Amino acid sequence: MSLTLSRKAQAVKPSSTLAITAKAKELKAQGIDVVGFGAGEPDFDTPENICNAAISAINSGFTKYTPASGTNELKQAVCNKFEKFNNIHYTPDQIVISNGGKHSLTNVFQAILNPGDEVIIPSPYWLSYPEIVMLADGEPVFVRGEQENGYKVTVEQLQAATTEKTKALILNSPSNPTGMIYSEEELLAIADYVVKNDIYVVADEMYEYLVYDGNRHISIASLNEEIYKRTITVSGLAKTYAMTGWRIGYTGSSVEIAKLMSGIQSHQTSNPNSIAQKAAVEALTGDQSSMEMMVREFDARRKYMHEKISSMHHISAKEPYGAFYVFADISKTLEMSYKGKKIETSAEFARILIEDYNVAVIPCTDFGYDDHIRLSYAISIEQIEEGLSRIEKFLMELK
Ligand SMILES: *Cc1c(COP(=O)(O)O)cnc(C)c1O
């Protein structure tokens, strides 16, 4: 016997973004005016009608266990949303409500993976994917989305990375961190690849409503019957309705997979919070005007931010069409020096910005793309203006 700990748990990588966030908090606590581009959540408050639904739930005693996979009322509301917005037909027995989208993803991989199964993750990727896959005994396989292709992967690349052990592909559109969206044509090609190789596709559609400039979000499961059978569609309320703290996410899948996930969830967490489920019903079925207002505001900030960055030296970014991030290429600066010292990594770039200019940005090493940073526009336009002008000053110091 010995007091060794779980190797799997110890292999979990603490997020590098935390270091920057901690530094930003420390500076703020000292009364320093920090501009934070790190935010991965909307700056808006949860809309009032949604909060009121939660208050009513409490006042009416809706505070007990619900079915482990969520209430029938919420599952039905999710089905209606899938039907109307995504053009996908699911019945309530195909829906599992979980404690946030991240929990939904965790359930998915626990339900489909056996030890050693490979999961293809296009990079840049949301930093939790590899960890979630490894915690479910899977092996991440990374495929790099090239800048020239809008950071998206091609079917040729996917096919080259596919082996006997490939079990699933993760598809995140609109993407965190790039803000890119896969077109219908691209999705059709990916669907063909998935069906031909007989694997699953886990479609993370968390940002499906945050789409701008006449672009359209298309759900891969809506394309045809064959891809529908192999897709697990994951979404949630956090980003769309400014409900990050409420923790409600959901999946649409085959009944068979939904049953496995409900079983796992029934032992691991039981039902998601009953009050938050009532609030989620209101979010999905009630007045949508607050959400539409948030989308318009994000769009205005997005345009401002992209134009401003495009006018700056040594940094560039493709125009994002979805989510609330600008993915900026800082590769030129990594060859340059600040106060006589070469910068070299995006982590160092971010460290200088927070320490000398009080601006927090996310270095994308843990997103699988070292020479880029992620800037969130889930902050006010005034903050964006101030933060970008500080970054501009920093860039002018580079030799
Ligand atoms: C925020 C996010 C999620 C999960 O959000 P929850 O807060 O767990 O609902 C999932 N995928 C991506 C890409 C995200 O950015």
Which tens digits make up the pLDDT trace of 61-112? 999 999 999 999 999 999 999 999 999 999 999 999 999 999 999 999 999 9
pLDDT of residue 36: 93
Distance (Å, rounded) from C-alpha 98 to C-alpha 63? Answer: 17
Residue 128 CB: number of other CB atoms within 10 A? 16
* Chain position carrying tokens 């909307």: 42
For residue 289, count CB atoms less than 10 angstroms from its CB and return exposed for 0-12, middle for 13-18, buried for 19 or more. exposed
Residue 292 CB: number of other CB atoms within 10 A? 11
Share of the chain above pLDDT 90, in %: 94
Q: For ligand 1, which residues put their CB under 6 angstroms from it? A: 40, 100-102, 126, 172, 176, 204, 206, 236, 238-239, 244, 249
- Residue length of the chain: 399
* Interval between CA 100 and ligand 1 midpoint (Å): 7
Residues ≥6 apart with Cβ < 8 Å to 115:
137
Reported in sequence order, the residue ranges of 244-313 that DSSP labels E, i.e. its strands, are 249-252
* Chain position carrying tokens 């409420």: 246
Q: pTM to 2 decimals?
A: 0.96
For residue 29, count CB atoms less than 10 angstroms from its CB and return exposed for 0-12, middle for 13-18, buried for 19 or more. exposed
Q: Is the pLDDT of residue 122 over 90?
A: yes
Nearest partner of 366 among 347, 351, 353, 344, judged by Cα: 347
Residues ≥6 apart with Cβ < 8 Å to 61:
none
Q: Is the pLDDT of residue 14 over 90?
A: no
Residue 98 CB: number of other CB atoms within 10 A? 30
Q: pLDDT tens-digit profile of 196-237? A: 999 999 999 999 999 999 999 999 999 999 999 999 999 999
Distance (Å, rounded) from C-alpha 102 to C-alpha 367? Answer: 16
Q: In the predicted model, what is the mean pLDDT of residues 301-326?
A: 97
Q: Is the pLDDT of residue 113 over 90?
A: yes
Look over the chain and give the mean of its residue pLDDT values, rounded to a whole number: 96
pLDDT of residue 2: 84
Residue 176 CB: number of other CB atoms within 10 A? 24
Distance (Å, rounded) from C-alpha 275 to C-alpha 260? Answer: 25
pLDDT of residue 258: 98
* Interval between CA 44 and ligand 1 midpoint (Å): 17
CA atoms within 13 A on the CB side of 115: 1
Residues ≥6 apart with Cβ < 8 Å to 18:
none
Backbone angles phi, psi at 248, to 5 degrees: -130, 120
Q: pLDDT tens-digit profile of 246-274? A: 999 999 999 999 999 999 999 999 999 99
Contact call for residues 246 and 276 (beta carbons, < 8 A): yes
Mutation to probe ligand 1, out of 78, 99, 102, 172 (largest number of atoms < 8 A from CB) = 102
Q: pLDDT tens-digit profile of 330-348? A: 999 999 999 999 999 999 9
Mutation to probe ligand 1, out of 108, 125, 239, 243 (largest number of atoms < 8 A from CB) = 239
> Angle at CA 86, nearest 5°, toward 83 and 89?
40
Share of the chain above pLDDT 70, in %: 99
Looking at residue 249, its amino acid is: G
Contact call for residues 63 and 274 (beta carbons, < 8 A): yes
Q: Is the pLDDT of residue 53 over 90?
A: yes
